[in-house]
Structure 1
Amino acid sequence: MDARSLAFWRMRNLGLLDQPAVGAAAIVGGLVAVQSQDFGPAKWSLGDRDPAATDAQLDAAFAHGDFLRTHVLRPTWHFVSPDDIAWLLALTGPRVHQLIAYYYRQQGLDDAVLSRGDDVLVQALSGGRQLTRKELVPHLAAAGLPTGTLAVTHLAMHAELEGLICSGALNGRQQTYGLVADRAPHARELDPDAALAELTLRYFTSHGPATVKDFRWWSSLTLADIRRGLDLVGDRLHSLTADGLTYWFAGAPPAAPPDGPVVHLLQGYDEYLVGYSESKFLLDLARRGGSRLDRPAANGVLLVDGQFTGHWRRTVSRQGVLFDLEVYETLTPPQEAALSATADRHGRFLGLPARVSVAPR
Structure 2
Amino acid sequence: MGDGERYIGVAERRARLALRQRLAPAVRAVRPEEVADALVALHGTDPATVYLAVGARLADPSGTVPETDRALYGEDRTLVRMHGMRHTVFVFPAELTAVVHASTGLAVAARERAALVKDMAKAGAPDVTWLKEVEESTLAALGRLGQATAAELAREEPRLRERFVYAAGKSYEGVHTVSTRLLRVLGVEGKVVRGRPLGSWTSSQFRWALAPEHPQLDPAGARAQLLRHWLTACGPATEADLKWWTGWRVTEVRRALAAIGARAVSLDEGTGYVVEGDVDPVAAPEEPWAALLPGLDPTAMGWRERDWYLAPELRPALFDGSGNVGPTVWWDGRVVGGWAQRADGEIVWRILDGSGVGRDAEAAIAAEAERLRRWVGDTRVTPRFRTPLEKALVE
Q: TM-score, normalised by structure 1?
A: 0.83
Does the 8 A contact of 2:264 with 2:274 survive in 1? yes
Q: Separation in 1 of the partners of 2:121 and 2:338?
A: 40
Q: Separation in 2 of the partners of 1:245 and 1:106?
A: 43
Q: Separation in 1 of the partners of 2:187 and 2:114?
A: 18
Does the 8 A contact of 2:290 with 2:365 survive in 1? yes
1:345/1:117 CA distance change after superposition, 3 Å: farther
Q: Separation in 1 of the partners of 2:223 and 2:325?
A: 34
Does the 8 A contact of 1:42 with 1:269 survive in 2? no
Q: Separation in 2 of the partners of 1:292 and 1:120?
A: 47
Cα deviation, residue 244, structure 1 = 4.3
Q: Is 1:164 matched with 2:191?
A: yes
1:315/1:134 CA distance change after superposition, 3 Å: farther
Q: Separation in 2 of the partners of 1:308 and 1:66?
A: 31
Cα deviation, residue 143, structure 1 = 5.7
1:241/1:133 CA distance change after superposition, 3 Å: same
Q: Separation in 2 of the partners of 1:140 and 1:192?
A: 34
How many residue pairs end up in the alignment? 346
Q: Separation in 2 of the partners of 1:254 and 1:348?
A: 37
Alpha-carbon displacement from aligned partner over 1:114-166 (angstroms, at most 9, x marks no partner): 64553233122013510123323334533674485565333211101111000
1:176/1:67 CA distance change after superposition, 3 Å: same
Q: Separation in 2 of the partners of 1:291 and 1:128?
A: 46
Match of 2:153 in 1: 136
Alpha-carbon displacement from aligned partner over 1:279-322 (angstroms, at most 9, x marks no partner): 222212x43223434238794111122222112111365xxx31
Q: Is 1:14 matched with 2:6?
A: no
Does the 8 A contact of 1:11 with 1:272 survive in 2? no
Q: Is 1:219 matched with 2:219?
A: no
User: Which of 206, 210, 214 is matched with 1:175 structurally?
Assistant: 206
Alignment map for 1:1-361 (pairs within 5 Å): 1-17=8-24, 18-53=26-61, 54-64=64-74, 65-97=77-109, 104=116, 107-108=119-120, 112=128, 115-127=132-144, 129-142=146-159, 145-146=162-163, 151-173=178-200, 174-180=205-211, 184-185=212-213, 187-234=214-261, 237-250=262-275, 251=278, 255-277=282-304, 279-284=305-310, 286-295=311-320, 299-315=326-342, 317=344, 321-329=345-353, 331-351=357-377
Does the 8 A contact of 1:83 with 1:188 survive in 2? no
Cα deviation, residue 350, structure 1 = 1.9
Does the 8 A contact of 1:10 with 1:207 survive in 2? yes
Identity among equivalent positions (%) equals: 23
Cα deviation, residue 246, structure 1 = 1.4
Does the 8 A contact of 2:300 with 2:325 survive in 1? no
Alpha-carbon displacement from aligned partner over 1:55-100 (angstroms, at most 9, x marks no partner): 2321232221221111111222100122221231122113324675
| Unmatched tracts of structure 1, length 5 or more | none
Q: Separation in 1 of the partners of 2:306 and 2:121?
A: 36
Does the 8 A contact of 1:211 with 1:245 survive in 2? yes
Q: TM-score, normalised by structure 2?
A: 0.77
